[in-house]
Structure 1
Amino acid sequence: MSMYQTSMVFLVIGSLSCMLGSLMCLSNGNCYFIEWDIISINSSSVVMTLILDWMSFMFLSFVMFISSMVLYYSGEYMAGDKNMNRFMYLVLAFVMSMGFLIISPNLISILLGWDGLGLVSYALVIYYQNEKSANAGMLTALSNRVGDVAILLGVSLLSMKGGWNFLFYVDGMLDMSTKGMLCALVVLAGMTKSAQIPFSAWLPAAMAAPTPVSALVHSSTLVTAGVYLLIRFSPALEETLSKTVLLLLSGLTMFMAGLGANFEYDLKKIIALSTLSQLGVMMSILSLGYADLAFFHLLAHALFKALLFMCAGAVIHSVKDYQDIRMMGGLVYHMPLTGMCMNLANLALCGTPFLAGFYSKDMILELAFMSPINFVAFILYALATGLTVCYTMRLIYYSLSGDFNLGNLYSVGDEAGIMTKPMMGLGCGAIFGGAALSWLIFPCPYMICMSLGFKTLALSVSFVGGVVGYLLNLGVVSYTLNSLSNYKVVVFSGSMWFMPFLSTYGVSKGFLKLGSKYHGVGDSGWSEYYGGQGIYSLVSKGSSNFQVFQDNSLKVYMLSFLLWLIVLFFLMI
């Protein structure tokens, strides 16, 4: 067996085992907490901790299942790569880091998975060794370092409590000032990993990685790490300012991502922006206090988003490696199986009734409309929902239906069986996954009482967004240059509100340049002169002088004796 087949078999077995463990924990109400001391420093014990409950088992099961499908899919997608085994090892290291993160309730042990994800994601983003990939990898790494520093500061903050198992401290064990600081640091870490405003620029840039990596990163691993951390921390977020800030920023993120996707022409970036929008949905409902709903949407979204990326990879693989959707069109006639799976994933993303996305998104929107949110958050929810359907219908028009825009030399088809079999597996998940998860996670359903207008608002906004998205691209507007008349608005909306520019040029010309000046004046200048090097030269000169006295030289003793006589003579006078 090839490596991708072996990896897939082991991961599928692991996924089934974890799902059985999750079902047992759900039925028995058990939670296993394993801890052992590594070292004790100043009465604070550095411990390795594992938590095995229904949530960690279920998330591990989904991560392993999606990873197995991605690795099998990579057997065909990466077949021409000379370093295919290296790619497989990197993906497996990525999955292992995510596993460490999932089962760690301890800020010390969580750093293993957290930093592992950052390191391996950088290696995967720069896998195609060119300048664009290098820039994207550096942006990804530097953005995520902000969250790493926040986690380290949280470790130092909890050290005065004698331990780092945050599950023991989030329920009323901390005073309000410490709790507020800890929540602010954890929210900052979660926002960097899940790419909320103002750290959103790295997520579309990470599309420089191979498409199988994008399917894994943007469905169940890297970008969901921040959401999962905040789900574990959710009891501590009650009655803190961080909760309100998170609601505002996540609402702006899902609106900004939906708006940007309607102006984007890169197939993978459109799907990346849709991921960003759904991360905003998860973060916003989490900030309203519904952590179980955020987890539900995280799992349902992982299924259809991995499927959507796999379909996009199959399309890109067939159309001569183009990613511009204007170069596609009419693919449903040439790739019927891929087109069916892509439509299925798109419909699940839009929240079409009785697909995976419907059960989570509909409940999230209804509970958000019932919650005491202000008018701004309500409008952001409604606009983001409509924009999701709008850019989805635009994507369907340009790639699957519409005019056939490929050149004469093309070979488009569904002949690659290794790529289509995983898509079928995830397609079943996109159909049945939402219903199965809702029965498992919510055995007692929520009681939602709303007026008819609010109850049908989500479907109404989705219908209007779909109609607008399809009609605006039916040929008249698409092939004219009407956007030039509103050039500034189009550029602002389509460039993620200038966030990539501010995250790269602004930071390098601002903070980094100022930091290099301070480094030149301080660390390498006066601090060095009066610090390390100054003390070194003073001590070395003093020791050489003392060495002369210790050599027992007669001349030194005679000179010293004469000096003492002269001093005594002047004192006597």
Structure 2
Amino acid sequence: MCLISFMVLFFFSMMFFMIGIYYLLMEFSYFIEWEVLSLQSNSILMTLYLDWMSMIFMSFVLLISSLVIYYSEEYMFGDLNLNRFILLVLMFVLSMMFLIISPNLISILLGWDGLGLVSYILVIYYQNVKSYNAGMITALSNRIGDVALLLSIAWMLNYGSWNYIFYLDCMKNNFEMFIIGMLVILAAMTKSAQIPFSAWLPAAMAAPTPVSALVHSSSLVTAGVYLLIRFNSLIMDSNLGMILLLFGGLTMFMAGMGANFEFDLKKIIALSTLSQLGLMMSILAMGFPKLAYFHLLTHALFKALLFMCAGSIIHNMLGSQDIRIMGGLCKQMPLTTSCLNVANLALCGMPFLAGFYSKDLILEMVLMSNLNILIFFLYFFSTGLTVCYSFRLVYYSLTGEFNSWNFHPLNDDSWLMLKGMLGLLFMAIMGGSMLMWMLFPTPSMICLPFYMKLLALFVSFIGAWMGYELAKFYLNWQLKSFKTYNLVYFLGMMWFMPMISTSGVSYNFLKMGYMIIKSIDQGWSEYFGGQGIYKMLTLNSIYNQKFQNNDLKIYFLSFIFWIIILLFMFMI
């Protein structure tokens, strides 16, 4: 089943990519209406919007999912329910397709909720306490966004239709636009795990690694960014863009700091995803939706490769994810670590790899824009942090001392996994330049002073040096973290967001919901509602039954009752 799914998805990926390029060159976009049901004068329509943006994004999602399914055949080897796992991944991809091609808020909700439900099932796939807790925080965080989307659907009734794509121009500069924009931004922030909803993304690493490679590169977490790219004109014409810019910048900074204190291999990559999502959100808030889309695609390529390499290492380490007991892997697994290095350098924005074209362009547009010092600092310091944790990871896992056990099973013999990774390796090297030629055929003139032009490169080199040297402890900073333990704990725990989200918010809301159910739904409303009416009708029917059975006691009691009433009346 893995091979068939891989071939079908890969074929559709290539087909959609060719159609997307054709639409881009010819400037085509198709709006398709399918009448599902017509009853009297009412008709139920399913609408699809096909343009270059949706077609190219679909092709990338299908390409990554096809390689992930091919990779899963060996990674999930021995799983008795492999076919069920593949079907869940396919359902996930289908939900993403619905979301991408929907110009209608109702059908977007169909894909949106499908992503939330299937991601919950995949996160709890291993069925242990950690997975169940991670699944619960993922589902509850995403429900906030689902409710916001439902409220925006209700508010769209003011326009007479849910096809938001037709109303974006007439929505500008009015109160309805502000409300709908606010709700859509809230929905996108929960799905793309922006502050204060960031806790669920590293927790969702409890899912199998192939799922992480798909979910955290091109599908679930990018759904919020993609929705805001479609709703971009709403953000730009209000103060909502400034709020989104601040939250995106803070998310980028927080995730970068957190990744430098993390020792779990998958969580480091998850926090790097969170950092890149903050970058996409903030550049989108500044009014560059095409740049955000460009980075969305390039990021999907190298991040999926990064997760697949991490999965291969974890698979060979017999399930261990702690980078402190790795070390020296480049001697044991040269091909896997080469792919990991390429993906890491693409993430850092190494010139002429996929990440460079989008990231460098974004940073230069930031330098060209009229920004305050806080946003400027968040952008460039976070860029330095990205390179810092990447080179820290390189030292701990690839180049440092060999820290694993003596009789280790480390090797590069996993050919199915390697084939899946090598497919993405080509895209991680060539994908950025290829997309650059297509999306920006006319070169843009970015005129900057020499020191500003080299600022991104300088920040990256400083970050790389700091990350590598601090990991080796060559700067005599061995015990500094113990002296500033509270600060390190605060930064390493994502500013206490996991604690606030679980014990602070989720637990109290769940407890409040339990009290409401016990006191109202199963309490007073039962007493005065269903159960009360049932008891009253039961007693009345028993009393009525005695009349029907000609019970003498009833007649005697009724006779005495009427005698007492008559005597009372005569006495008055």
Same fold (TM over 0.5): yes
**SS of the counterpart of 1:222?**
coil
1:206-245 → structure 2 map (5 Å cutoff): 206-245=204-243
Asked if structure 2 preserves the Cα contact closer than 8 Å seen for 1:44 and 1:159, the reply is no
State which drifts further: 158-167 or 292-301: 158-167
Cα 1:566–1:426, aligned 2, differ >3 Å: closer, same or farther?
closer
Cα 1:572–1:496, aligned 2, differ >3 Å: closer, same or farther?
closer
2:80, 2:289 → 1: CA distance? Answer: 44
Asked if structure 2 preserves the Cα contact closer than 8 Å seen for 1:45 and 1:163, the reply is no
Q: CA offset at residue 205 of structure 1?
A: 0.7
Cα 1:547–1:105, aligned 2, differ >3 Å: closer, same or farther?
farther
1:314, 1:460 → 2: CA distance? Answer: 33
The aligned residue for residue 337 of structure 1 is 335
Per-residue CA deviations over 1:90-110 (Å, capped at 9, x if unaligned) read 111111111111111111111
Q: 1:441 aligns with which of 439, 442, 464?
A: 439
Q: CA offset at residue 450 of structure 1?
A: 2.2
Structural RMSD (CA): 2.8
**SS of the counterpart of 1:99?**
helix
Cα 1:65–1:521, aligned 2, differ >3 Å: closer, same or farther?
same
1:252, 1:48 → 2: CA distance? Answer: 39
1:77-156 → structure 2 map (5 Å cutoff): 77-156=75-154
Q: CA offset at residue 238 of structure 1?
A: 1.9
**SS of the counterpart of 2:408?**
coil
1:447-466 → structure 2 map (5 Å cutoff): 447-466=445-464
Q: CA offset at residue 531 of structure 1?
A: 4.3
2:265, 2:258 → 1: CA distance? Answer: 13
Amino acid at match of 1:433: G
The aligned residue for residue 65 of structure 1 is 63
Q: CA offset at residue 83 of structure 1?
A: 1.4
State which drifts further: 318-327 or 492-501: 318-327
Q: CA offset at residue 384 of structure 1?
A: 0.6
**Percent identity at matched positions?**
59
Q: 1:172 aligns with which of 170, 173, 180?
A: 170
**SS of the counterpart of 2:485?**
helix
**SS of the counterpart of 2:231?**
helix
Q: TM-score, normalised by structure 2?
A: 0.93
Q: 2:516 aligns with which of 506, 515, 518?
A: 518
1:526-545 → structure 2 map (5 Å cutoff): 526-534=524-532
Q: CA offset at residue 444 of structure 1?
A: 2.2
Q: CA offset at residue 572 of structure 1?
A: 13
State which drifts further: 32-41 or 269-278: 32-41
**SS of the counterpart of 1:497?**
helix
Cα 1:568–1:160, aligned 2, differ >3 Å: closer, same or farther?
farther
Cα 1:283–1:478, aligned 2, differ >3 Å: closer, same or farther?
farther
1:21-420 → structure 2 map (5 Å cutoff): 21-38=19-36, 46-173=44-171, 176-420=174-418
Cα 1:542–1:289, aligned 2, differ >3 Å: closer, same or farther?
farther
1:540, 1:238 → 2: CA distance? Answer: 64
Cα 1:63–1:527, aligned 2, differ >3 Å: closer, same or farther?
same
List alignment gaps of at least 5 residues for structure 1. Answer: none
Amino acid at match of 2:138: T
Cα 1:102–1:39, aligned 2, differ >3 Å: closer, same or farther?
same
Cα 1:479–1:41, aligned 2, differ >3 Å: closer, same or farther?
farther
Per-residue CA deviations over 1:240-280 (Å, capped at 9, x if unaligned) read 23222211111110100000000000111100000000000
Q: TM-score, normalised by structure 1?
A: 0.93
Asked if structure 2 preserves the Cα contact closer than 8 Å seen for 1:219 and 1:303, the reply is yes
Asked if structure 1 preserves the Cα contact closer than 8 Å seen for 2:91 and 2:118, the reply is yes
Asked if structure 2 preserves the Cα contact closer than 8 Å seen for 1:45 and 1:162, the reply is no
Asked if structure 2 preserves the Cα contact closer than 8 Å seen for 1:325 and 1:398, the reply is yes
Q: CA offset at residue 543 of structure 1?
A: 7.9
Per-residue CA deviations over 1:305-353 (Å, capped at 9, x if unaligned) read 0111111111112223221111111111221111111110000000111
1:143, 1:93 → 2: CA distance? Answer: 21
Amino acid at match of 1:505: S
Cα 1:463–1:551, aligned 2, differ >3 Å: closer, same or farther?
same
Per-residue CA deviations over 1:146-194 (Å, capped at 9, x if unaligned) read 1111111111111232211110111124662111111111111111111
